[in-house]
Amino acid sequence: MRSVRQNVVRRRGTGLASLWRYLLAGLGLAALLVGVLAVVYLTAPQSAQPIAPDVSRTKNTDNGLFVASFAPERGVVRQGELQSWLLTLKTKAGAPVEGAAITISGGMPQHNHGLPTSPQATDYLGDGRYRIEGVKFTMSGWWQLHFAISATAGSDTVLFNVVL
């Protein structure tokens, strides 16, 4: 195939007849290629990408009791390192939720495995902010963190998606 290309380039201008012959050959080849590519593209399976999960960092909890925000304490998400994150809990009216008991679970829905660590709420920083330590993402992809929250206003749950 390479040599055909070289011929096309090199022999141009060595007489009209041969030029036409090569150009026609080139045209034929190009048409063939377009045809093959068309078949490949039309028959290729639809891309297997799942619908992108909702990665918003602020959400209403599942029963609407609280508004929860979840963000890395130092701003960036680093793969393979233990990091602390902040979970901020407010009521619908915007008042900080204090004294909440929080348990955390999660994993990778597409790989059927849980979290590589057991993150815990280790500190209350005031203003509805809880420090979640021991968060670690060991691979790129779609992770889920599930929080069960129990406070004087009641118990509720919320799920955050993190895509790396």
Residues near other proteins (CB under 8 A) are: 1-2, 4-5, 8-9, 22-23, 26-27, 29-30, 33, 79-80, 82, 111-120, 133-134, 136, 138-141
Rounded to a whole number of angstroms, the minimum distance from the CB of residue 117 to other proteins is: 4
Q: Residue 54 Cβ, how far from other proteins at the closest point, in Å?
A: 21
Which residue's CB is nearer to other proteins, number 19 or number 151? 19
Q: Which is nearer to other proteins, 31 or 95 (CB)?
A: 31
To other proteins, the closest distance from the beta carbon of 27 in angstroms equals: 6
* Minimum distance, C-beta of residue 160 to other proteins, in the bound complex (Å): 18
- CA gap 86, 72 in Å, rounded: 6
CB nearer to other proteins: pick between 97 and 145:
145
Burial of 34 (0-12, 13-18, 19+ CB in 10 A): exposed
Q: Shortest approach of other proteins to residue 78 CB, angstroms?
A: 10
Q: How far apart are CA 63 and CA 65, in angstroms?
A: 6
Complex with other proteins: residue 91 or 138, whichever CB lies closer: 138
Q: Which residues have C-beta within 8 Å of that of residue 69, sequence separation ≥ 6?
A: 57, 58, 59, 86, 87, 88
Lookup result for tokens 């809880």: 130
Tell me, what amino acid is at 126? G
* Nearer residue to other proteins within complex by CB, 12 or 92: 12
Helix axes 16-43, 2-10, angle to 10 degrees: 140
